[in-house]
Amino acid sequence: MTTDATTRIEETVKANDVVLFMKGTKTMPQCGFSSRVAGVLNYMGVDYLDVNVLADDAIRQGIKDYSDWPTIPQLYIKGEFVGGCDIVTEMTLSGELDALFETSGVTYDKDAAEKIREANA
């Protein structure tokens, strides 16, 4: 992994409260897993930075090395790696993601979060 990619990833993760490294963009995801996580964040009204790993091979590989996590998407909140699609989905349904947003001072729509849980109950 190039130091350049690591530096760019670190700066991005530290400069933004919520970052989603994904395939595609928040408005045009290019894989189902990225689409699901972006959909949850979009629906909950979370302000987040989307990083399209398909646009940069160094970042695409670099983020896997950075987190020691083999798959994309990857969600970061306040500089901390949260997880990929399955973990974010589980956290959304259990309410853990809400709690993490609250303790991190990240604004989100509590009603939307409840609707996701109701729809999946």
51 touches 19 (CB < 8 A): yes
Considering the entire predicted model, what is its pTM? Answer: 0.95
**Would the annotation count 85 as a binding residue?**
no
CATH 3.40.30.10 holds for 3-119: yes
pLDDT, tens digit (0-9, with 9 covering 90-100), for 63-104 = 999 999 999 999 999 999 999 999 999 999 999 999 999 999
Domain ranges for the chain, please list them: 3-119
Q: How many CB atoms lie within 10 A of CB 17?
A: 18
pLDDT, tens digit (0-9, with 9 covering 90-100), for 16-57 = 999 999 999 999 999 999 999 999 999 999 999 999 999 999
Rounded Cα gap, residues 55 and 93, in angstroms = 31
Bridge partner residues of 74 (DSSP): 21
State the amino acid at position 79 in one-letter form. Answer: G
